[in-house]
A and B are shown apart, each in its own frame.
Chain A
Amino acid sequence: MRHPVLANRIRLIVWWLVWLFLMAGQSLLFYYAYGNFSSIGILDSFISLLIYSGIGLSLWYPFSFFNSGNVRTTTIISNLIISGIISVSLWALLTKYIMLGVLPDGNNYNEYWEATFPYRIGTGVFIFGLIVMSYYLFISLTNLAEKNAKEARLESLVKETELKMLRSQINPHFLFNSLNSISSLTVTDPEKARMMVVKLSDFMRYALARKDEQPVSLQSEMENLRLYLEIEKVRFGDKLTTEEHIDPECLDFKIPVMLLQPLYENAVKHGVYESTETVKIFTQAKIIDGYIEIIIKNNYDTAPSMKKGTGTGLINVARRLELFYGNKASSKTLKENGLYTITLYIPKEY
């Protein structure tokens, strides 16, 4: 830890002002003790507190050393008592001999010294206490600030890590199924296989390139989602259709990258995979009072499916919205009459 007083100009000024104040106090005290106001008294106060100020400044080093690491309270207290005794005696002796050296007539000073001695020791102990207290105050305030800063850093790190984890990764099943289709197409329709490889690469480039959590425009998100849906269309043909109604003013709206991906994956998984009918994925986006409202809707087969979904996709999307926007964004789902609808409200923040 740096020296709390010497490292900062303003604190140094305050430090000297406090000593000036103490000097006045000591002069008055000694005037009361000695009963006679003289130039010796003023000079004595001046010199002695100049000395004490020096001792006070250097006391910081042993103090910060006493407090480093895990030290027992009793050890600290005994250290303080010892350093207090040394400081006060050193101060008193230095004052006496310097004063005797400075003044032409030593006898006067000896008399003054003896009369004020108990007060001098009292002042010394009092000032020592003040120094100890202010240094300790400084140390605990610094520790507190450091602790707070550390906590804040840790919190943002945790949040960042969680966001990274929630960022929908490319679903391995999707990749696997796509490779399967490509494998079939290379035999039956090489041109279509080539197109699918290109689409898959574009999709993966987008998904892999964005390592950071910088929000992206709805336009680039939608472009990537179209790629995803086109790849699935190769597998399912006419069974998968899409419809979009996106207001032009929404295109520049920024949203977290790959936020919508799990929702389309759900629509394909629970809609297209499980249905014998054509499934239409309908997307609508518009701006309402500074919020963007995104609606994704698909029809689905109401017959019970082989396996129940786990809801992970939706939970992830909701959690990411919470981490990005607090309680300002929301998502809600509705399952009604063979239609699955999810509505997102996202504030304009980026």
Chain B
Amino acid sequence: MEKIRIVIIDDEEPGRELVKHYLKEVDSIEVIAECSDGFSGLKTISTLKPDLVFLDIQMPRLTGIELVEVLTEKPEIIFTTAYDHFAIRAFELNAVDYLMKPFEKRRFLEAVKKAIVKIQSGKGNLEPANQLLSKKPETEGPVNRIVVRKANAINIIPVEQVRYVEAQDDYVMIHHSTGKALKQQTMKFYEENLPQSDFVRIHRAYIVNITEINKIEPYGKDTHVAVLNSGEKLPVSRAGYKQLREDLKF
């Protein structure tokens, strides 16, 4: 049987060393690369196509979560992080497991076993789901950037450049100053995590950057449209109009 090929991505050396150390006891695996930041991790995964990745979350350039979001061919992922507020997102991304640092060897080997079973059987194991769903994410400050994939390039869009976010079935379309990009994420996430001082949800399907709004015009009975600086027109729902009035104080 072929060995399971593993990549370890963690910006802290002691973290990588520990994973390597624990893995010494596991047969039929092979650590093929180590990376200390998100970007090189992404490159390594794309070129080496490992079976399993140990992935830290808080890393420079690209977080572990952002990295997985833009991967087209996903290996199995075990997140290793000191924080629990990404747990739900990690589960949404179908991670095999979510190890909270510091973790014990027993817990680590359990996760590895689960991953091996999943890789060898080719089907998912939903056990971590229940475990993680009971965890409420800790609230954190607003996001400052959005990472998207466009063809083969990875784009990092600062939030100031986001013009508006549009719902598209299971995805959202991020319209930014130099184009647009599709991202697998929910409207709710952006409603809660874009800086509230700059972004307003004006409609079920639209969250708009206030600075992009040129004017708001009435449109039929009870409804309005927001005209953006670019000339685009977005519908404003009644609730959205109320919210705009509150935020812009008119």
Contact = CB atoms under 8 A, between A and B. Distances in A.
A40 to B, nearest CB: 89
Given A181-B12, A184-B15, A184-B18, A275 B82 contact: no
B140 A184 contact: no
Contact of A236 (B13, B142, B144): B13
Contact of A303 (B22, B82, B143, B156): B156
Nearest to A274: B60
Contact of B140 (A181, A234, A307): A307
Contact of B18 (A187, A234, A273, A275): A187
A181 B56 CA distance: 14
A189 B145 contact: no
Interface in A176-211: 176-177, 179-181, 183-185, 187-189
A301 B144 CA distance: 14
A104 interface: no
Given A184-B14, A185-B14, A306-B143, A176 B82 contact: yes
B17 interface: yes
A188 B144 contact: no
Interface residues of A, number: 28
A276 interface: yes
Given A275-B60, A276-B39, A276-B40, A306 B144 contact: yes
B140 to A, nearest CB: 7
Contacts of A239: 11, 36
A179 to B, nearest CB: 7
A304 B158 contact: yes
Interface string B1-45: 000000000011111011011100000000000001101100000
A188 B17 contact: yes
B12 A188 contact: no
A96 interface: no
Best-surrounded residue of A176, A235, A273, A276 (most CB of chain B within 10 A): A276
Contacts of A179: 102
Interface in A150-180: 176-177, 179-180
Nearest to A275: B60
B136 interface: no
A237 interface: yes
A114 B76 CA distance: 120
Interface in B100-155: 101-102, 105, 140-145
A143 interface: no
A110 interface: no
Contact of B14 (A176, A234, A275, A310): A234
A229 B74 CA distance: 37
A307 B141 contact: yes
B144 A305 contact: yes
Contacts of B17: 184-185, 188-189
Contact of A304 (B15, B22, B37, B144): B144
A78 B191 CA distance: 71
Interface in B156-202: 156, 158-159
Nearest to A183: B102
B102 A184 contact: yes
Given A180-B82, A183-B102, A188-B17, A307 B144 contact: yes
A276 B43 CA distance: 14
Contact of B145 (A185, A237, A305): A305
Contacts of A234: 14
Interface of B: 11-15, 17-18, 20-22, 36-37, 39-40, 58, 60-61, 63, 66, 82, 101-102, 105, 140-145, 156, 158-159
Given A184-B14, A305-B145, 5 more contacts: A177-B82, A183-B102, A184-B17, A304-B156, A307-B141
Identify the 3 closest CB pairs spanning chains A and B, nearest first: A183-B102, A184-B18, A184-B14
18 contacts: A180-B14, A181-B14, A184-B14, A187-B21, A187-B105, A188-B17, A237-B13, A273-B11, A273-B58, A273-B60, A274-B60, A274-B61, A276-B37, A301-B60, A301-B61, A304-B158, A307-B142, A308-B142
